[in-house]
Structure 1
Amino acid sequence: MSFRVRPANPDDFDAIYEMAKLTGGGFTNLPADKGTLVSKLAKSEDAFDKVEEVQGNDCYIFVLEDPAARVIRGTCQVFGQVGVTQAFYSYHLSTLTQWSPELGKTFRNQMLTLTTDLEGSSEVGGLFLHPAMRAGGLGLLLARSRYLFIRQHRERFGDRLLAELRGVMDQAGNSPFWDALAGRFFDMSFPEADAFNAVNGTHFIAELMPKSPIYVSLLPDAARAVMGQPHPTGRAALRMLEGEGFAFDRYIDIFDGGPTVVSRTDQVRTVREAVAEKVVEVGDGGSMKMLLATGRLKSFRACLGEVRRIDNEGLALSADTAALLEVREGDTVLAVSR
């Protein structure tokens, strides 16, 4: 495989901007706004340059590249901590059970409560793979490379990791959940609000939303049907997250109703199972494929590599794999089964 994941740099702007224009909206972390993307790349540069191995309000942006062809076909992000400079709001879906002796009936009502429960968590997000490349395991590489980076820099991330998935919307970009709830309090459509949030952040609108619990039964059927459901294009991403150990804990996005899934950071499969291996040979990698990573901060590289185990000494890598990772015999790589 000729693709690898590496930290983004300002020279990647054009490729990232072109991918942002392909998202179709709803990707708050990847807006098709040049000024915002320039600022995000600058913030990412600062994060990779940071010397202190401590958790902070950092954003790390990565790209999926074919270095030989000099093309970029994907991107993803990791956030060190949410809710630091702006409150991180979610709706939590709960059940209120009430018993009426006079009627002899039990009534169960679902409620949406505005909460900042997830404040202080780290987040994985902003994952986008070019439509022409959605085959061959590249999405898996892009997604799981983030967990290897977290493993390499564990002190920079919290004990809880979350991922927000885009909610359901129609072909015009309208969200049934927004139209039924938040849209009733603001004079803007969901596409307008989405564009505003991508550039200015969610804080302004979130602060003006009603703080009282919302009875789900008061919402129209169209809104109730999409609560906690990912956009159809995000179902594969949800399956990958669930395979890593993330679970839906009844938190949903306050704008489009998409699901938020969470996991203890150290229990994420790739974080938990990755082990350090010595590169003892470069040449014939064999037929076994593993997810590999090496390097720290701006030197971080990850790829799906061809490897062969040599007794208890370490791994033999194919020449192509070693070139993608920029490693030689005697170096160490993080390795985890595919």
Structure 2
Amino acid sequence: MSFRIRPATPDDFDAIYEMAKLTGGGFTNLPADKGTLVAKLSKSEAAFDKTEEAQGNDCFIFVLEDPVAGIIRGTCQVFGMVGTSQAFYSYHLSTLTQWSPELGKTFRNQMLTLTTDLEGSSEVGGLFLHPQLRAGGWGMLLARSRYLFIKAHRQRFGDRLLAELRGVMDEAGNSPFWDALAGRFFDMTFPEADGFNAVNGTQFIADLMPKTPIYVSMLPDSAKAVMGQPHPTGRAALRMLQEEGMTFDRYVDIFDGGPTVTAPTDQVRSIRESAEETVVEIGGEPGKTKVLLAAGRLRDFRCVRAEVRRVGRKGIAISREAADLLEIETGARVLMVGR
């Protein structure tokens, strides 16, 4: 099977909804709610149609597709700007050092402070790969295609990029972090609150969450143990984000305590190292250099794994299969980055 990344369309709803049902909860950007997914696909359609080359409250949804077999086995999203229509809340983990001369002791207390520090950032998220395709490196294609899309449409994205990772939950879908902190201020279980947030947004957080800092020492060990830790299924995703240069700057999700990682957009590895090339030959001798290739703008964006061959200083040669997946011919300009 040969897969490619392309923009999602309303016709992909059934496949995306089936994948949403497989997430197991906690995927705010991919809820198993039909109305919300329809609305997100509609918003994505509008984003791909937008002609203004400027950062905005856009959501771009992509799918991993085998066009020959007619199957979809993954999806991912890119957001132009967070915190525009509704506040983007995070907890920031800081340290307060206090000294007592009488006791002759120094006390260092960690605190969680509700912030909107990351407002205005762009975000990569909503990545889900079907369990049947977990082997073979297709998750890497899903993840890195987003950076090539950002590079190709740089004016539509901010100077900081973030990614939120799902936090630790038990087999029943409950979150120790939620139960210890936010759950005390909402008459909801974690699955209820997470589902409500996915459908209705974050305003209820502003209405009910305490604004004063929370001393971490007052939380139970069960919550402290998972704070800033990704769900076990998200560890590979965290490694891929770290390989791109994204780091944990002590921001955690206010629901499940999962980590948020950030990086200056232009310093993300796939963005920094990718470069434009000209396809000067299609077919012929097979290439040996493994790369990712992206071509086209907005609705015509396509991204694939490929093996290329350098043709002197003129450009690169690619296979007919790669050219067909990208829907390009000789002379096309592509973005290329090493695998």
Aligned to 1:292: 293
Give 1:194's aligned residue.
194
Q: In structure 1, what is the Cα distance between the partners aligned to 2:27 and 2:304?
A: 25
In the aligned structure 1, how far is the partner of 2:23 from the partner of 2:291?
29
Residue 303 of structure 1, CA deviation: 0.5
Equivalent position SS for 2:86: coil
Post-superposition shift, 1:31? 0.4
Query: Partner of 2:11 in structure 1?
Result: 11
Residue 318 of structure 2 corresponds to which residue in structure 1?
317
How far the C-alpha of 1:288 sits from its partner, in A, is: 1.8
Q: Which residue of structure 2 lines up, in the alignment, with residue 31 of structure 1? A: 31
RMSD in angstroms over aligned alpha carbons?
A: 0.7
Q: Deviation at 1:69?
A: 0.3
Question: Structure 2: how far apart are the matches of 1:195 and 1:114?
Answer: 21
**C-alpha deviation, 1:201, in angstroms:** 1.2
Q: CA deviation at 1:215?
A: 0.2
| Residue in 1 that maps onto 2:218 | 218
Q: Deviation of residue 289 (structure 1)?
A: 1.3
Paired residue secondary structure (1:292) = strand
The farther-off stretch of 204-213 and 81-90 is 204-213
Residue 200 of structure 1: CA displacement? 0.7
Which residue does 1:262 correspond to in 2?
A: 262
Alignment map for 1:90-129 (pairs within 5 Å):
90-129=90-129
Matched, 1:76 2:89: no
Please give the secondary structure, in 2, of the residue aligned with 1:229: coil
For residues 207 and 28 of structure 1, what CA distance do their matches in structure 2 show? 19
- Rounded to whole Å, the distance in 2 between the matches of 1:96 and 1:304 is 48
Aligned mates of 1:146, 1:202 — CA distance in 2: 25
Structure-2 residue corresponding to 1:327: 328
Shift of 1:106: 0.6
Q: Secondary structure at the match of 1:30?
A: coil
Give the letter for the 1:332 counterpart: R
Structure 1 residue 198: deviation in Å?
1.1
Which SS does the other structure have where 1:35 is aligned? helix
State how 1:169-188 maps to structure 2 within 5 Å: 169-188=169-188
Measured in 2, the distance between the counterparts of 1:281 and 1:5 equals 22
Structure 1: distance between partners of 2:289 and 2:331: 20
Q: Secondary structure at the match of 2:6?
A: strand
Deviation at 1:188, TM superposition (A): 0.9
- 2: distance between equivalents of 1:325 and 1:56? 27
The CA deviation at 1:30 is 0.2
Q: Look up the equivalent residue of 1:155 and give its one-letter code.
A: Q
Determine the C-alpha separation between the residues in 1 that align with 2:116 and 2:129: 30
> SS state of the match for residue 272, structure 1?
helix
Q: C-alpha distance in 1, partners of 2:300/2:203?
A: 34
Amino acid at match of 1:176: P
Q: Give per-residue Cα distances to partners, 1:174-209, cap 9 Å, x unaligned.
A: 000000000001111001111111111122134310
Moved over 2 A (4+): none
Aligned to 1:54: 54
Structure 2 CA distance, aligned partners of 1:207 and 1:289? 51
Unpaired runs of 5+ residues, structure 2, are none
SS at match of 1:25: coil
Give the Cα–Cα distance (whole angstroms) in 2 for the partners of residues 132 and 84 of structure 1.
Answer: 37
Matched position secondary structure for 1:207: helix
Instruction: Provide Cα deviations, 1:49-81, integer angstroms capped at 9, x if missing partner.
Output: 000000000000000000000000000000000
The residue aligned with 1:156 is 156
Give the secondary structure class of the aligned counterpart of 1:329. Answer: coil
Aligned to 2:306: 305
Report the CA distance between 1:135 and its aligned residue.
1.2
Q: Write the distance in 1 (CA, Å) between the matches of 2:283 and 2:203.
A: 52
Structure 1 counterpart of 2:45? 45
**Residue by residue, what CA displacement relative to the aligned partner does 1:204-226 show, whole Å, maximum 9, x if unpaired?**
13431000000000000000000
Q: Distance in 1 between matches of 2:220 and 2:188?
A: 19
Contiguous gaps of at least 5 residues in structure 1: none
CA deviation after TM superposition for structure 1 residue 287, in Å: 2.2
How far did residue 43 of structure 1 move? 0.2
For 2:246, the equivalent position in structure 1 comes to: 246
Match of 1:87 in 2: 87
Relative to structure 1, is the Cα distance of residues 206 and 253 closer, same or farther in structure 2, using a 3 angstrom cutoff?
Answer: farther
Q: Secondary structure at the match of 1:92?
A: strand
In 2: Cα distance, 1:286 partner to 1:157 partner: 33
Q: Which amino acid aligns with 1:123?
A: E
Q: CA deviation at 1:18?
A: 0.3
SS at match of 2:162: strand
Q: Which residue of 1 aligns with 2:209?
A: 209
Q: How many residues end up aligned between the 2 structures?
A: 338
Question: CA 1:265 to 1:3, structure 2 compared with 1: closer, same or farther past 3 Å?
Answer: same
